[in-house]
């Protein structure tokens, strides 16, 4: 008995034009009624390809089309019919009937609605008009699992970036925390890459968030390194004029920070060890005492200048953390 060659155009299954069981024998029988009508209900496992828009993953809605039609027979040889419920300008429309008693719900997708359209199509390769029935299945992804395992941890890691600026520099753990957050973001990016197909021209919004977060963490780490460099400066040298204006005057005023408190300075006369002794104090106990006092005064002056420079660098480190 003749069987129509109704095939799924988007099928990705091997030997998609053969409906056979594992043993290779036909199992799709045809029921012939007394009126001459024939009923043919071939069971099949369909594997179809769909174009996906992953821009708003995992809060996306996809539309998968399944196009069924004859591969060989034109409309005047094989006419398709379908029960319609509504009508559109493009053709006849109907919804796919899904038996809820036999349907097994997916753990990843929810079916929002279905519809089918009967179309007449002409192709450049072949003459005549071919009929096909195109079904559209609207799917919505369940968001609970990806939100708990992907989105929420990523947001928490991004919020931890702020902790690197509140962590005091003397703790010595700022760089470790930044590197840990960066590694966590890289791990979640790998998870996202394994769960989404490769898109040629677009990147999911959550992927853009991952990239932005990694860039932000890298910039934060760079500023953290500079801040630690400022903080651990031992006052070996002072700031330049422009540098002092930016970090001690301009930026603190912009950030509404309290100005650097001025330390009480003890003024000592600038006397070098190589300077000659005062007149009448060349030898004796007085000259020796004078040299000791001059040495102590120079030491105290250098210590005060080093402490001043160190406090300025630490203040600049606090400004950098802001």
Eight-state DSSP code of residue 67: E
With b meaning 16 or more CB within 10 Å and e meaning fewer, what string describes 294-315?
beeeeeebeebeeebbbebbbb
Query: Number of folded domains in the chain?
Result: 3
Rounded Cα–Cα distance for residues 127 and 124 (Å)? 7
Residues 165 and 113 in one domain: no
Nearest CA to 235 out of 316, 309, 317 is that of 309
> Could you tell me if residue 236 is inside a domain?
no
Distance, in Å, from the CA atom of 279 to the CA atom of 299, rounded to the nearest integer, reads 24
Last residue of a domain, one of 231, 262, 281: 231
DSSP codes of every residue in 27-62: ---EEEPTTS-EEE-------B------TTTTS-EE
Q: What token pair was written down for 174?
A: 């700022």
Q: Residue 182 has what pLDDT?
A: 84
- Asked whether residue 276 falls in the same domain as residue 158, the answer is no
* Residue 116 and residue 63 share a domain: yes
On whether both 188 and 76 belong to a single domain, the answer is no
Tell me, what CATH number does 82's domain have? 2.70.170.10
Amino acid 281: pLDDT: 59
Q: Are residues 122 and 177 in the same domain?
A: no
Helix, strand, coil percent values for the chain (each to nearest 5): 40, 15, 45
pLDDT in the model for residue 322: 67
Distance CA 206, CA 54 (A): 10
CA atoms within 13 A on the CB side of 40: 12
Is 117 domain-assigned? Answer: yes
Contact 67, 8 (CB under 8 A): yes
User: 255 with 225, same domain?
Assistant: no
Contacting residues for 188 by C-beta, under 8 A, at least 6 apart: 150, 153, 154, 157, 210
CA 158 to chain centre: 10
List the domain range (segments joined by +) for residue 121: 6-142
What stretches of 84-240 show up as alpha helix (H) in DSSP? 144-146, 152-166, 174-195, 205-231
- Are both 22 and 46 inside the same structural domain? yes
Which residues in the chain come in under a pLDDT of 70? 15-28, 84-95, 169-172, 234-236, 262-284, 286-290, 321-322
**3-class SS of residue 87:** strand
Whether residue 30 is found in the same domain as residue 89: yes
Domain closes at, from 87, 115, 142: 142
Residue 22: its pLDDT value, please?
A: 45
pLDDT attached to residue 20: 46
How high is the pLDDT of residue 274? 56
Both 107 and 172 in one domain: the answer is no
- Cα 172 to its chain centre, rounded Å, is 29
Tell me the three state secondary structure of residue 277: coil
Residue 299 is predicted with a pLDDT of 77
């Amino acid at each position: 008995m003749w069987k129509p060659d109704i095939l799924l155009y988007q099928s990705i299954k091997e030997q998609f034009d053969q409906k056979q069981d594992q043993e290779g024998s036909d199992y799709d029988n045809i029921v012939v009624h007394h009126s001459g009508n024939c009923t043919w209900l071939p069971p099949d496992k369909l594997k179809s390809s769909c174009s996906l828009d992953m821009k708003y993953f995992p809060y996306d809605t996809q539309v998968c089309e399944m196009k069924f039609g004859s591969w060989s027979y034109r409309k005047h040889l094989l006419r398709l019919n379908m029960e319609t419920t509504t009508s559109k300008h493009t053709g006849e429309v109907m919804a796919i009937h899904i038996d809820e008693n036999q349907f097994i719900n997916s753990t990843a997708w929810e079916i929002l609605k279905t519809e089918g359209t009967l179309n007449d199509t002409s192709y450049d390769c072949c003459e005549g008009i071919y009929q096909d029935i195109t079904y559209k299945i609207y799917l919505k992804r369940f968001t609970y699992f990806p939100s708990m395992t992907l989105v929420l941890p990523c947001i928490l890691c991004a919020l931890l970036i702020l902790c690197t600026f509140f962590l005091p520099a003397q703790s010595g753990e700022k760089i470790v925390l930044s590197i840990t957050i960066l590694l966590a973001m890289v791990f979640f990016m790998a998870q996202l890459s394994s769960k989404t197909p490769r898109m040629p021209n677009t990147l999911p919004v959550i992927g853009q968030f991952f990239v932005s977060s990694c860039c932000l963490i890298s910039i934060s780490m760079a500023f953290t390194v500079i801040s630690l460099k400022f903080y651990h400066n031992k006052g070996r040298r002072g700031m330049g004029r422009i540098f002092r204006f930016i970090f001690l005057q301009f930026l603190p005023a912009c950030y509404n920070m309290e100005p650097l408190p001025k330390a009480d300075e003890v003024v000592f006369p600038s006397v070098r060890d190589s300077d000659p002794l005062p007149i009448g104090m060349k030898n004796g106990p007085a000259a020796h005492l004078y040299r000791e006092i001059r040495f102590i005064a120079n030491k105290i002056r250098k210590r005060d200048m080093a402490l001043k420079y160190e406090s300025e660098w630490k203040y600049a480190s606090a400004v950098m953390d802001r």
